Amino acid sequence: MQTILVINSKGGSGKTTLATNIASYFAGSQRKTALMDYDPQGSSLHWLQLRSTKAAAIHAADAAVQKGKRMRSLQMYVPEDTGILVIDAPAGVDGVLLQEMVKKADYILVPVAPSMIDIHATADFIRDLLLKGGINKQQTRIAVVANRVRKSMPVYRPLERFLQVLSLPFLTRISDSDQYILAAEQGTGIFEMDAALVATERKEFEPILDWLDPQADRQDGRPENVVDFGRLCSGA
Ligand SMILES: Nc1ncnc2c1ncn2[C@@H]1O[C@H](COP(=O)(O)OP(=O)(O)OP(=O)(O)O)[C@@H](O)[C@H]1O
Ligand SMILES: [Mg+2]
């Protein structure tokens, strides 16, 4: 099983957006996929509930620590034949919970929004992750993605500088796009939507897939045999 952790202690950086789109990509590529939500807000699990029964199946695993409850093991269950496990982390996570998630991860993806506040918080988070996260560097790969980059401001100098000083790979810039909001509302992802509407989003997302899934044969940034969820919904 390949485990992909999407994490940043900064709230609203795009963890759930990346986690759900990655899960929908792999599920659409005929990979047995599970999405594990550590966030008590349950955004990823909510997205799964919105998902059409006709769309490629994604197993839901609830790993959130709810107030007053300690037992998590049953809801955390992931089927044995799962090929891809995507973990959506909550904001503000540290300590034992951070280590628990990091220990599971083969890949750690850190989304960062282009604002001074987000960049500072993310720099602190990455430092904590490297120092206290318990990463086994030989096994775990870490990369950064800029998210919600505005078209009017494609280059943001503080972000450029931040990414330059990191000795971690910077994979791509994801634009601020209504398509991600639509996908979130429909329980789908950009690789399941009408290709003509999401060509830019797919192109920007592709470096993430190249990093996670280098062997895949992607035509036009789209996995083969994927269900066209947009068409399914519109009945075309
Ligand atoms: N590239 C994007 N384009 C447009 N909207 C986006 C993009 N990325 C995220 N959003 C929107 O921004 C909001 C925050 O994104 P998201 O929920 O993915 O962040 P998060 O890091 O999971 O937040 P939290 O820390 O609360 O869990 C959501 O409403 C989401 O739809
Ligand atoms: Mg979230």
User: In this predicted model, what pLDDT tens digit does every residue of 32-89 receive, in sequence order?
Assistant: 999 999 999 999 999 999 999 999 999 999 999 876 666 665 688 999 999 999 999 9
Distant-in-sequence, close-in-space partners of 117: CB < 8 Å, separation ≥ 6 = none
Mean pLDDT to the nearest integer, 194-216: 94
**Contact by Cβ (8 Å): 223, 191:** yes
CA distance 31 to 47: 19
Query: For 113-129, what is each residue's pLDDT tens digit?
Result: 999 899 989 999 998 99
Has residue 92 been placed in a domain? Answer: yes
Has residue 203 been placed in a domain? Answer: yes
Which range, of 97-101, 167-171, 225-229, averages the lowest pLDDT? Answer: 225-229
Residue 37, both tokens = 């939500």
CA distance 20 to 183: 9
Pairing assessment for the beta strands 33-37 and 2-6 based on DSSP bridges: unpaired
Has residue 98 been placed in a domain? Answer: yes
Please state the φ and ψ torsions of residue 206, each to the nearest 5 degrees. -55, -40
Residues with CB under 5 A from ligand 2 (ion): 15-16, 43
Quote the pLDDT of residue 220.
Answer: 55
Has residue 17 been placed in a domain? Answer: yes
- The ligand with the least distance to the CA atom of 91 is 1
Which range marks the domain in which residue 10 is found? 2-222
Among 106, 100, 110, CA closest to 84: 106
CA–centroid distance, residue 236 to ligand 1 (Å): 29
Among 126, 153, 131, 155, CA closest to 142: 126
Has residue 77 been placed in a domain? Answer: yes
Q: What angle do CA 93, 187, 150 make, to 5 degrees?
A: 65
CA distance 115 to 146: 10
Supply the CATH number for residue 47's domain: 3.40.50.300
Residue 100, both tokens = 């628990």
Angle, in degrees to the nearest 10, between helices 116-132 and 157-165: 10
**Contact by Cβ (8 Å): 180, 17:** yes
Q: Is the CB of 145 under 6 A from ligand 1?
A: no
Q: Is the CB of 24 under 6 A from ligand 1?
A: no
Which residue has the least CA distance to atom 3 on ligand 1?
176
Has residue 235 been placed in a domain? Answer: no
Number of domains in the chain: 1
Q: Mean of the per-residue pLDDT values for the chain? A: 88
Has residue 97 been placed in a domain? Answer: yes
**Contact by Cβ (8 Å): 1, 84:** yes
Most confident of 166-170, 215-219, 231-235: 166-170
Q: Is the CB of 177 under 6 A from ligand 1?
A: yes
Quote the pLDDT of residue 221.
Answer: 53
**Contact by Cβ (8 Å): 21, 205:** yes
Has residue 25 been placed in a domain? Answer: yes
For the cut 60, the answer to whether the pLDDT of residue 191 exceeds it is yes
For the cut 90, the answer to whether the pLDDT of residue 151 exceeds it is no
Quote the pLDDT of residue 155.
Answer: 74
Q: Is the CB of 176 under 6 A from ligand 1?
A: yes
